Amino acid sequence: MDWQGQKLAEQIMQILLLVFAVASLVAGYVLGSFQTMMLVYAGGVTLTALITVPNWPFYNRHPLNWLDPSEAEKHPKPQIAVSSKKKATKK
């Protein structure tokens, strides 16, 4: 899953959970049943998980282009410069 796919999956998850929360609240209130409300919400969470958790192909529309290993060997990693100078402290 690429970066844009992760963003899309999170947006879909938030929208679906909100929609199912409202729908379950309305269904539970209209029917006067807490059990119905919980079942509708549990079904919504399950459906949301089935849509957002697997790595579906539409989450991979923008694949990353990785550097070829032979090209990476030509360019060494930059080294971090270690400074041995210490600042003088005033007393």
pLDDT digits (tens, 9 = 90+) for 34-57: 999 999 999 999 999 999 998 888
pLDDT below 70 — which residues of the chain? 84-91
Whether 7 maps to a domain, the answer reads yes
Whether 66 maps to a domain, the answer reads no
Whether 14 maps to a domain, the answer reads yes
Residue from 20, 13, 12 nearest 44 by CA: 20
Q: For residue 4, give every residue at least 6 positions away whose Cβ sits within 8 Å of its Cβ, in sequence order, or none.
A: 61, 62
Whether 84 maps to a domain, the answer reads no
Alpha carbon distance 81, 52 (integer Å): 44
pLDDT value of position 70 = 77
**Helices 34-52 and 3-31: angle between axes, nearest 10 degrees:** 170
pLDDT value of position 1 = 82
Alpha carbon distance 91, 89 (integer Å): 7
Whether 25 maps to a domain, the answer reads yes
pLDDT value of position 85 = 63
**Number of structural domains in the chain:** 1
pLDDT value of position 46 = 97
Residue span of the structural domain in which 23 resides: 3-54
Whether 47 maps to a domain, the answer reads yes
Whether 12 maps to a domain, the answer reads yes
Whether 48 maps to a domain, the answer reads yes
